C-alpha cells in the first residue's frame, strides 16, 4: 500500500510540476522575446521575463478562480481595444487597459466576500524566486558566450524558479501573514494576470502584426515559433525539479494542507 501511495504521489508531482513548468516556460520565453523585440537587451529581458513569468505562474496556481477572473477581464478588455482602435495599438496601452480591467474585476471578486491575502503572498514569493533565477541565468549568459536555445533556457529557469519558490514559500507566507491587505490582494493579482493576457493578445493578434514593419514582424514570428520550445523545456524542467523535490521530502500534499 505504501508503495502504491508513493507512486501516486510521484505521478501527481510530475503532473502538477510538469503543467506548471509548461505554463511558466512558454510564458517566460514569450516575454523574453517580446522584451527583446521592444529593444531591451543584455540582462533586462532575462530578469524582467523571469520575474514577470514567475509572479504570473505563482498567482495562477495559488488562486485559479481569481486567475480565471483576471484572464477573462484581460481578454474582454483587449478585444474591446482591438475593436475600437484597430491596428493602431501599443503594447503599453493594451496591457495597461487589460490590467485596469483586471483590477476592477478583482475588486468585484473581493467585494463578494472572497477576500484572501494568500494569492498576493504567493505572487510575492514568485517575485523573489523569479528575481533569484533571473540573476543566476543572467550571470550564466554573461559567462557562457554561446547562444542558448529557448528549450534549454526555459528548462533551466523553470528548475531554478521552482526550487527557489519551494524553499522560500513557507517563510514568505508566514512573514506576510497579518499585514498584507486582503482587500487589495485580489485586485492586484487579477490585474497582473490581465495585463499579461493583454500582452499575449498584442503578440498573437493579426491586426497588430500587420501594422508592424517587416523586421519587427519577423521578430514577432520568432516569438511565436520559440514559445512551443519554451513550453517543452518548461515541462521537462518542471517535471525533473518536482521529482527531485518530492524525493527530498517536499510534498505537494503538505503544501495543500498549509
**What does the buried/exposed string (b/e) look like for 134-167 if buried means 16 or more CB atoms within 10 Å of the residue's CB?**
bebbbeebeeeeeeeebbebbbbbbbbbbbbbbb
- Residue 178, phi-psi category: left (phi > 0), alpha (psi -120 to 50), beta (remainder): left
pLDDT at 252: 55
Q: Residue 50: which of 174, 153, 197 has the closest Cα?
A: 153
Please write the tens of the pLDDT for every residue from 88-127. 667 788 888 999 999 999 888 888 866 677 888 888 888 8
pLDDT for 216 equals 57
Q: How many domains does the chain have?
A: 1
* Residue 57: Cβ within 10 Å count: 32
pTM passes above 0.75: yes
Q: Which residues in the chain land under pLDDT 50?
A: 1, 206-208, 256-258
Pairwise CA distance, residues 25 & 158, whole Å: 6
Residue 109: name the closest of 182, 177, 37, 34 by CA: 182
d(CA 99, CA 142): 33
Per-residue model confidence (pLDDT) at position 215: 54
- 48 — alpha (psi -120 to 50), left (phi > 0) or beta? alpha
Domain encompassing residue 47: 2-257
Give the pLDDT score at 1: 47
Give me the pLDDT at residue 257, please: 45
Amino acid at each position: 500500500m505504501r508503495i502504491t501511495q508513493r507512486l501516486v504521489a510521484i505521478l501527481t508531482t510530475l503532473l502538477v510540476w510538469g503543467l506548471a513548468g509548461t505554463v511558466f516556460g512558454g510564458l517566460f520565453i514569450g516575454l523574453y522575446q517580446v522584451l527583446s523585440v521592444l529593444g531591451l537587451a543584455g540582462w533586462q529581458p532575462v530578469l524582467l521575463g523571469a520575474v514577470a513569468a514567475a509572479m504570473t505562474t505563482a498567482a495562477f496556481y495559488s488562486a485559479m478562480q481569481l486567475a480565471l477572473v483576471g484572464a477573462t477581464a484581460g481578454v474582454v478588455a483587449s478585444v474591446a481595444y482591438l475593436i475600437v482602435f484597430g491596428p493602431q495599438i501599443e503594447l503599453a496601452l493594451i496591457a495597461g487597459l487589460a490590467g485596469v480591467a483586471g483590477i476592477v474585476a478583482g475588486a468585484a471578486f473581493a467585494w463578494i466576500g472572497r477576500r484572501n491575502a494568500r494569492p498576493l503572498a504567493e505572487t510575492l514569493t514568485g517575485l523573489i524566486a523569479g528575481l533569484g533565477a533571473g540573476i543566476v541565468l543572467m550571470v550564466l549568459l554573461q559567462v557562457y558566450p554561446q547562444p542558448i536555445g529557448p528549450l534549454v533556457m526555459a528548462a533551466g529557469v523553470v528548475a531554478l524558479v521552482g526550487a527557489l519558490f519551494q524553499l522560500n514559500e513557507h517563510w514568505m507566507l508566514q512573514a506576510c501573514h497579518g499585514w498584507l491587505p486582503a482587500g487589495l490582494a485580489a485586485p492586484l493579482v487579477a490585474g497582473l494576470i490581465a495585463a499579461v493576457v493583454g500582452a499575449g493578445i498584442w503578440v498573437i493578434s493579426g491586426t497588430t502584426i500587420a501594422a508592424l514593419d517587416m523586421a519587427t514582424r519577423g521578430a514577432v514570428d520568432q516569438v511565436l515559433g520559440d514559445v512551443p520550445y519554451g513550453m517543452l523545456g518548461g515541462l521537462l524542467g518542471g517535471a525533473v525539479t518536482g521529482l527531485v523535490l518530492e524525493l527530498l521530502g517536499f510534498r505537494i500534499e503538505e503544501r495543500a494542507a498549509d
